[in-house]
């Protein structure tokens, strides 16, 4: 697979660097990179020994030696880049948050389906080994019916009002950059919530600094998430069932360990596999396996679920009064 599926990298920022490092560490094939300037593309290509540097996204999309494009721009640019790549006949892996809103997400997934191309949200946590094992444990009934989930994603990030994370025009704020992790996690375990409540605090720029959510489910289960860009938290998660619980260690959304307890507080399973790189290669493996099998949707994170998660984020933003300039 690594010899046949050729990756193109769209954008040359920090997250693209991390992804390419993991790809190359684990034997995947990166054949081209595209940026808005020739200098940026060439710098990136030189750093990672990538054969072709394109001075535009259009040129990358047109490259016949690229099969799938990883889209690593800021959120507001995901939609245009995804449409460009799909219209050029390329499969796509799109960074999270997938788009600014559900309308954009639906347009991307509809086009991908019409063209018979793979579209996958780069929610890399979903594809990590410890998350795959957690899903198996829950399906097996080891902790019984899930009754609650708690998860946080809190980091002390830049207070500079000009920083991308604090710029609403660039989709900045805690929700799309950080909150997407625990929110997608609750979807992974419990699916679509029946109802939700959200609360937030804001920076002077108007970007959300903290967002808290409570999701309620028809089963009676409750999930709570807390995300912040202005303060660091424990970054742990816990899934509690009627027969036991799963405690995921720091940092729960990266490759890590966990323990399964029964109701007598006895550890009945411990998971602690060696870490390979940052762990971003697992989503690439999923994408390549799907392409090889002629499939366009992942059972782990389908395009329709990605759209529904974006709808959830839209509902949260409506409750906290958050709108991006491009939506005005």
pLDDT of residue 67: 98
Q: Are 73 and 9 in contact, with CB atoms under 8 Å apart? A: no
Reduce the DSSP state of residue 263 to 3 states and report it. Answer: coil
Q: What is the pLDDT of residues 120-136, one digit of tens each?
A: 999 999 999 999 999 99
CA triple 224-226-231, angle to 5 deg: 160
Q: What is the pLDDT of residues 69-123, one digit of tens each?
A: 999 999 999 999 999 999 999 999 999 999 999 999 999 999 999 999 999 999 9
Q: Residue-wise over 120-142: b if at least 16 C-beta within 10 A, else e? A: bbbbbbbbbbbbebbeebbeeeb
Q: Are 123 and 180 in contact, with CB atoms under 8 Å apart? A: yes
Reduce the DSSP state of residue 15 to 3 states and report it. Answer: helix
The contacts of residue 230 (CB under 8 Å, 6+ apart) are 156, 157, 159, 174, 203, 209, 210
Taking alpha carbons only, the member of 60, 92, 88 closest to residue 78 is 92
Tell me, yes or no, if the pTM score tops 0.75: yes
Q: What is the pLDDT of residues 244-256, one digit of tens each?
A: 999 999 999 999 9
Taking alpha carbons only, the member of 227, 232, 267 closest to residue 247 is 267
Tokens of 108: 């991307």
In angstroms, rounded to a whole number, what is the distance separating the alpha carbons of residues 40 and 30? 17
With tokens 């959300």, the residue in question is 208
pLDDT band at 4 (very low <50, low <70, confident <90, very high): confident
SS3 string, 135-194, reads: HHHHHHCCCCCEEEEEEEEECECCCCCCCHHHCHHHCCCHHHHHHHHHHHHHHHHHCCCC
Q: Is the pLDDT of residue 157 over 80?
A: yes
Q: Distance between terminal CA atoms of the chain?
A: 44
Q: What is the pLDDT of residues 266-290, one digit of tens each?
A: 999 999 999 999 999 999 999 999 9
- How many residues are present in the chain? 328
pLDDT of residue 280: 98
Give the domains, in start order, of the chain with CATH numbers. 6-125 (3.40.50.720), 129-278 (3.30.360.10)
Tokens of 35: 């940026």
């Amino acid at each position: 697979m690594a010899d046949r599926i050729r990756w193109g990298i769209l954008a040359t920022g920090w997250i693209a660097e991390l992804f390419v490092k993991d790809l190359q560490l684990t034997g995947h094939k990166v054949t081209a990179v595209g940026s808005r300037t020739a200098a940026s593309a060439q710098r990136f290509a030189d750093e990672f020994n990538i054969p072709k540097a394109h001075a535009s996204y259009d040129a990358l999309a047109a490259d016949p030696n690229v099969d799938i494009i990883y889209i690593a721009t800021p959120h507001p640019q995901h939609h245009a880049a995804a449409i460009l790549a799909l219209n050029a006949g390329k499969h796509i892996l799109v960074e999270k948050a997938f788009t600014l809103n559900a309308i954009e997400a639906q347009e991307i997934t509809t086009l991908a389906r019409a063209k018979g191309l793979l579209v996958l949200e780069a929610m890399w946590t979903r594809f990590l080994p410890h998350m795959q094992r957690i899903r198996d444990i829950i399906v097996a009934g080891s902790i019984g019916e899930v009754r609650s989930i708690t998860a946080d994603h809190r980091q002390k990030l830049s207070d500079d009002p000009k920083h991308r994370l604090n710029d609403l025009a660039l989709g900045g704020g805690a929700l799309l950059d950080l909150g997407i992790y625990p929110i997608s996690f609750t979807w992974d375990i419990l699916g679509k919530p029946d109802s939700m409540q959200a609360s937030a605090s804001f920076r002077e720029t108007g970007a959300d600094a903290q967002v808290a959510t409570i999701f309620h489910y028809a089963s009676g289960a409750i999930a709570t998430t807390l995300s912040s860009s202005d303060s660091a938290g424990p970054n742990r998660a816990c899934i509690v069932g009627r027969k036991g619980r799963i405690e995921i260690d720091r940092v729960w959304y990266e490759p890590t360990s966990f323990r399964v307890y029964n109701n007598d507080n006895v550890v009945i399973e411990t998971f602690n596999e060696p870490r390979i790189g940052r762990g971003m290669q697992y989503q690439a493996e999923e994408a390549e396996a799907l392409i090889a099998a002629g499939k366009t949707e992942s059972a782990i994170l389908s395009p329709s679920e990605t759209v529904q998660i974006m709808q959830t984020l839209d509902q949260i933003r409506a409750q906290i009064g958050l709108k991006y300039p491009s939506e005005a």
